[in-house]
Amino acid sequence: MVTDRDASPADRDASPAAALARLRALVRIPTVSRDDPAAVDAAAFARFREALAELYPRVHAQLELESVERDGLLFRWPGGDPSNAPAGGPSVLMAHQDVVPADEPGWQHGAFDGAVTGAGAERRLHGRGAIDDKGSLAGILEATEALLAEGHRPRGDVYLFFGADEEVAGTCAEAAVRTLEARGATPALVLDEGGAVVEGVFPGVSDPIAVIGVSEKGIASVELLAEAPGGHASTPVAGGATARLARAVLALDASPAPARLNAPTLRMIETLAPHVRGALRPILGSARRLRGPLARMFARLGPETAAMVRTTRAVTRLRGSAADNVIAERASAIVNVRVAVGSSLEEALGEIRRVVERHGVTARLVSGDEPSPVSPDSGPAWEVLTASIAEVFPAAVATPYVMLQASDARHFARVSRGVYRFLPFDLSRAEREHLHAIDESIRASTFANAVRFYAALLRRL
């Protein structure tokens, strides 16, 4: 799995095939995150760390490395001429070591076997984490290793941060941010996973699009609670706790949060409008004037476009009585809320309360993070990023967007104004659908392009 040849920097094979073999070695180590920390295989993370040291020897010899919490890794590549760093300061490239479980049956190839199939453009590495996010982690390390071999030195400090609990929204990334904060490091550019190079996602656009997350929605858990006298199930009273909770849940379902076009989504539409073919073009071209109607149109087009323009709510857990024959005195539901950029936890909670309190149900914020600040889609950090994208994906139109999912990147807004979420992978819809599902895989050519992208980016830092 880890060969002797890889251990010696001098005759290390930097070919795309050898780079893919190294990613394969990493995919074969099951660094699975679990909600229950006791269920996490600590030995797998230890093996992963050892494998990294063997596979990327120059990175380990020449960069400073410190642990963050137990398994997080923070490398620092000291810059030679910080005042001349194009983005005006240090940079952080991020990826996470952990993967979601692969317990579901039906994988065509074993999730941790690292099967490689096909030839030429069809050559593909299969396994959990091939894309999310070991593909990115290995891409960053391959590029760094190659630039070190050339004797390259970045102008500003470059940090590489590899968290170990992203998939369970753990604390590793926050700890890394505290480390940077303590050092007074204020990165001009932070790059984490997020958008990608995609096709066929935006109505009327057939060109590939490089979607760069400039913000991410907030996330919250809100508990709905109905209370009423309980009693024996043989003598029920109408309008009890479960009935009221059910009415509140139905009412929430029937009254979604208002649709609004936030600033980054408007910028996305303006950026893409010139590439739209067909009847939509003039409408999207006048997006600034037509914010209201466009927001309503996006809300109707489908769940993804709807999630772009509004705070969403999904009732995920329902609880009532613990026994078949006992009437619930307390019935509760958890609403998983994704707060739109431009809104707030307070507004989202207020909207929910207005709907459910009419049914005698209370709403309480259990936990929550505000939407992330919006990073600029102009200026030095953005230019460095989009120039690197243009170098490797010349046909792609780069556009800002709001990431719908929550990621480790959100914590970095505390130390940086330039936090971007982009994976340098050209991914088909089918490939994206396999993330967090069975049969995750990456094309060899996709991975090779990612290595080229990270090298192009590092050369500019």
Write the interaction track for Zn ion spanning residues 174-213; mark x where CB under 5 A is met and - where it is not.
Answer: -------------------x--------------------
Distance CA 379, CA 213 (A): 16
Smallest separation (angstroms) from Zn ion to the CB of 193: 5
Smallest separation (angstroms) from Zn ion to the CB of 305: 22
Smallest separation (angstroms) from Zn ion to the CB of 405: 9
Cβ proximity to Zn ion: between 127 and 154 the closer is 127
Binding window for Zn ion (CB under 5 A); candidates: 5-13, 79-87, 129-137, 390-398: 129-137
Cβ proximity to Zn ion: between 1 and 438 the closer is 438
Cβ proximity to Zn ion: between 298 and 453 the closer is 453
Smallest separation (angstroms) from Zn ion to the CB of 96: 6
Cβ proximity to Zn ion: between 132 and 216 the closer is 132
Please select the residue that binds Zn ion; options are 71, 98, 133, 377, rule is CB under 5 A.
Answer: 133
Interface residues for Zn ion in 292-351 (CB under 5 A)?
none
Write the interaction track for Zn ion spanning residues 81-120; mark x where CB under 5 A is met and - where it is not.
Answer: ----------------------------------------
Smallest separation (angstroms) from Zn ion to the CB of 49: 19
- Is 408 among the residues that bind Zn ion (CB under 5 A)? no
Cβ proximity to Zn ion: between 132 and 157 the closer is 132
- Is 132 among the residues that bind Zn ion (CB under 5 A)? yes
Smallest separation (angstroms) from Zn ion to the CB of 102: 14
Cβ proximity to Zn ion: between 132 and 440 the closer is 132
For residue 175, the cross-strand partners are: none
Smallest separation (angstroms) from Zn ion to the CB of 382: 22
Cβ proximity to Zn ion: between 142 and 193 the closer is 193
Residues making contact with Zn ion (CB under 5 A):
132-133, 193
